[in-house]
Amino acid sequence: MVGSNRVVLGNGIVHVLGDAKASADEEKKTRRQLVQKALEALQRDDE
C-alpha cells in the first residue's frame, strides 16, 4: 500500500516517474526526486 515503508507515491498512473505537463528538464528532476525517495526507503530499516 502506498504510504507503507517502502512504497513511494508516484506521479499518477500514466507517468508514474514522469510529468507530461512539465518540460523535459523539470520532468527529469521530478523523476530523480522520486527515485531518490525510493533509495532512501531502501536504506532505512523497518519502522
Kindly list the residues in this chain that would bind other proteins in the complex (CB under 8 A): 5-6, 10, 13-18, 20, 27-28, 31-32, 34-35, 38-39, 42-46
Query: Which of residues 3 and 27 has its CB atom nearest to other proteins in the complex?
Result: 27
Nine-digit cell string for 23: 518540460
CB of 30: closest distance to other proteins in angstroms? 10
User: Is the distance from CB of 15 to CB of 30 less than 8 angstroms?
Assistant: no
Backbone φ, ψ for residue 9 (5° rounding): -75, 120
CB of 3: closest distance to other proteins in angstroms? 14
Element (H, E) at 1: none
